[in-house]
Structure 1
């Protein structure tokens, strides 16, 4: 039998139902022949879905579960209503997995829709029919499909013109901050939004790149004074080199 180990409504119901104390956990008492049998939630679900199940027992179980659930206040989450939803869960699994994999709808949303559908159908289902549980499961399945079909049609639309306008927007030079020691770029002719654009790449010498890298590394290591004293002015003679490399690196 499928497991409900998942972070959705089904797992929450199972945790509150199966994890409850014995004096709180609901049991179904049904008449089988001339005797009364008290069934735990697990035993009741096993009797409903096991291969070769007894149809007469199945009908009695669904009928009793519906009667017990209706005795509780509407809109509540009493143990009888939780038990009814929990008993219906295996009946919706096949369609739930089909929807999740085919339509890519969130499983947690489908579980919520199925639980709400069972509780809504509880108010109108006839417990004296030969298969009182069938309408509960069918309503849950139909509501999951209806929700999924509605969601997949809700495709967000993007205003392409507005997006392009914002993406290509340029501010006037006087509106842009001018950093200290910065550069100004003038293009002739100015860029046009209806034509192709290319990426501008600025290159600098390897010497300057290495110097900036060395300075940043020295500052992080707390050695800015040492590196400053070891630097060489362009007009001075080379008296040595300072090399920094990761510890253990090849010489």
Structure 2
């Protein structure tokens, strides 16, 4: 059985179902033919996934778990639904780890939560008497896990437009502006507009020196960097001044 991290959703389900060692043990009473069998949680899982599992006993476990999960009130403690989810978890581990290895952007906690939601959503539609009922439910949950992972990987993070606009329009006091000694600054002031983002663009270029003497500037390069294409729209007015000069 594959273990999960101590803070994961699956680990919390394990803790809730199994409880501490000295806590009262939960059990499931199933009927196989004319016999009633009492099973502790670990025995119920072995009946579904164990190497020497009994098909009749496994079907009885699944049928009883679905029955108890469905009959509990919605405002109850949810112990029946939690136990059913716990029974399904071993069938999800392989695909869980495959998804996490394939897509690093998928958060494990979110993926496990999505799997739990899928189990609960599929509960009402599950047919406990159908052939391979537990296998069909696991397949449905796995499909939803993969669909969620693919959806997350297609999401493109975007900048906070409001914060970007506020930062761009913030005026820094002249005494707080970094000054480039013996350099040039190019400021591009955008034309007035009512909508959209706008802010002054600033390019700074120091005056190269050699042996303490100025050897000229790369002013053409600086203006070249701030230029616009001849077919592009006008984005503002260009101002050239020594670094730190008053406006």
TM-score (norm 2): 0.65
Match of 1:190 in 2: 185
Q: Decide which moves more: 33-42 or 72-81.
A: 72-81
Cα offset for 1:144? 1.1
Q: List runs of 5+ in structure 2 lacking aligned partners.
A: 189-200, 209-247
In 1, Cα distance between the equivalents of 2:151 and 2:75?
25
In 2, Cα distance between the equivalents of 1:126 and 1:184?
74
**Structure with the higher fraction of residues in helix conformation:** 1
Q: Is the 8 A contact 1:26 1:79 kept in 2?
A: no
In 2, Cα distance between the equivalents of 1:152 and 1:101?
13
In 2, Cα distance between the equivalents of 1:135 and 1:79?
23
Alignment coverage as a number of residue pairs: 194
Q: Is the 8 A contact 1:47 1:58 kept in 2?
A: yes
Cα offset for 1:23? 8.3
Match of 2:144 in 1: 143
Q: Is the 8 A contact 2:185 2:205 kept in 1?
A: no
Q: Deviations over 1:136-193 (max 9, x none)?
A: 212221111111111111112459xx97xx78x9978xx32279xxx97554543478
Q: List runs of 5+ in structure 1 lacking aligned partners.
A: 202-251
TM-score (norm 1): 0.64
In 2, Cα distance between the equivalents of 1:77 and 1:99?
31
Larger radius of gyration, structure 1 or 2?
Answer: 1
In 2, Cα distance between the equivalents of 1:113 and 1:75?
21
**Structure with the higher fraction of residues in strand conformation:** 2
Q: Is the 8 A contact 1:66 1:127 kept in 2?
A: yes
* Inter-CA distance 78–170: structure 2 relative to 1 (3 Å threshold): closer
Give the alignment's Cα RMSD to 1 decimal. Answer: 3.7
